[in-house]
């Protein structure tokens, strides 16, 4: 069997189910090599997975200890909550990932946001943001909005973050379904998030090999899986689920792979 090329991170092998296929799982949890850590790895029992809310939430642990992973179904960000800090992974952040010591995650309180992150030091996200703040995670798309006493910073609309003066207020549209900015002259500027990646950009089926390949936003391969193990639900919050009863090669515990409907992050849940 020929090994598949390494595009990002380290290579782990999945159990092969055919003589001509080598199943490759590319793990990049640290955000190294200029990427943002598209695969989130957590050890948890299946009972720790929640699909009922706007966010896929899994409680468990990894090599650094206790961890709760939050992946919005309609948004495009990974929020990793630990007892002493919160890590946010998103392609719209400088460096694609940021650690926020002392921060905490709260549910969103309006339709446009699925999560909010309360942080003691806003400057870790932007140099013009000072003091305590709130990072609003949009329900859809890649939009993130930082709100603090000195500035409102918008991530995800333009290639670079947009810092606005403190006299600009974060609000919602009259219908309440989109974030908006109330400008000093009274005009309302609607914040429209980028559209999510289409399914055609994220999956490729190889009929000859009997496999499904899962890609990240730059067409880097995250995983190649036996097609028989992959479930693509016709509706609901999950875009893809794959249950590998044999687990990752070299580990006996079963593994489940999931990705939310409009989220580019792939969640790997290993049984403890």
In terms of average pLDDT, the best of 28-32, 43-47, 52-56 is 52-56
CA nearest 268: which of 20, 29, 103? 29
More confident residue, 153 or 1: 153
Task: Provide the token pair at 160.
Answer: 């670079």
Task: Provide the token pair at 235.
Answer: 């509706």
Q: Do 217 and 91 form a contact (C-beta atoms < 8 A)?
A: yes
Specify the pLDDT at position 199. Answer: 64
Q: Would you report the helix, strand and coil content of the chain in percent, each value rounded to 5?
A: 5, 45, 50
pLDDT band at residue 4 under the 50/70/90 scheme? very low
Of 20-34, 84-98, 182-196, 202-216, give the lowest mean pLDDT range: 20-34
Say how far apart CA 215 and CA 30 lie, in whole Å.
Answer: 18
Cα end-to-end distance, the chain, whole Å: 30
Handedness of CA 99, 104, 105, 109 (dihedral sign): negative
SS3 106: strand
Residue ranges per structural domain of the chain: 10-41+198-270, 75-190
Burial of 114 (0-12, 13-18, 19+ CB in 10 A): buried
pTM reported for the whole predicted model:
0.84
Burial of 5 (0-12, 13-18, 19+ CB in 10 A): exposed
Please name the residues in contact with 17: beta carbons below 8 A apart, sequence gap of 6 or more: 23, 226, 228
């Amino acid at each position: 069997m020929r090994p598949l090329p390494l595009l990002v991170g380290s290579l782990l092998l999945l159990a092969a189910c055919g003589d001509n296929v080598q199943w490759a799982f590319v793990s990049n949890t640290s955000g190294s090599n200029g990427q943002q850590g598209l695969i989130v790895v957590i050890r948890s029992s299946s009972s720790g997975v929640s699909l009922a809310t706007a966010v896929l939430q899994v409680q468990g642990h990894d090599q650094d200890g206790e961890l709760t992973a939050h992946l919005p179904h309609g948004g495009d960000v990974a929020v990793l909550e630990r007892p002493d800090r919160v890590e946010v992974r998103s392609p719209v952040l400088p460096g694609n990932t940021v650690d926020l010591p002392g921060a905490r995650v709260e549910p969103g309180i309006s339709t446009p946001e699925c999560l909010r992150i309360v942080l003691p030091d806003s400057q870790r996200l932007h140099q013009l943001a000072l003091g305590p703040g709130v990072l609003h995670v949009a329900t859809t798309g890649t939009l993130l909005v930082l709100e603090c006493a000195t500035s409102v910073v918008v991530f995800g609309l333009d290639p670079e973050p947009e810092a606005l003066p403190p006299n600009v207020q974060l609000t919602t549209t009259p219908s309440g379904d989109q974030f908006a900015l109330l400008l000093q002259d009274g005009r309302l500027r609607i914040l429209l998030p980028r559209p999510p990646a289409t399914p055609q950009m994220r999956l490729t089926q190889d009929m000859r090999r009997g496999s499904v390949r899962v890609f990240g936003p730059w067409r880097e391969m995250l995983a190649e899986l036996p097609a028989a193990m992959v479930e693509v639900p016709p509706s609901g919050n999950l875009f893809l689920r794959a249950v590998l009863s044999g687990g990752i090669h070299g580990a006996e515990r079963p593994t489940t792979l999931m990705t939310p409907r409009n989220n580019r992050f792939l969640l790997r849940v290993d049984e403890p």
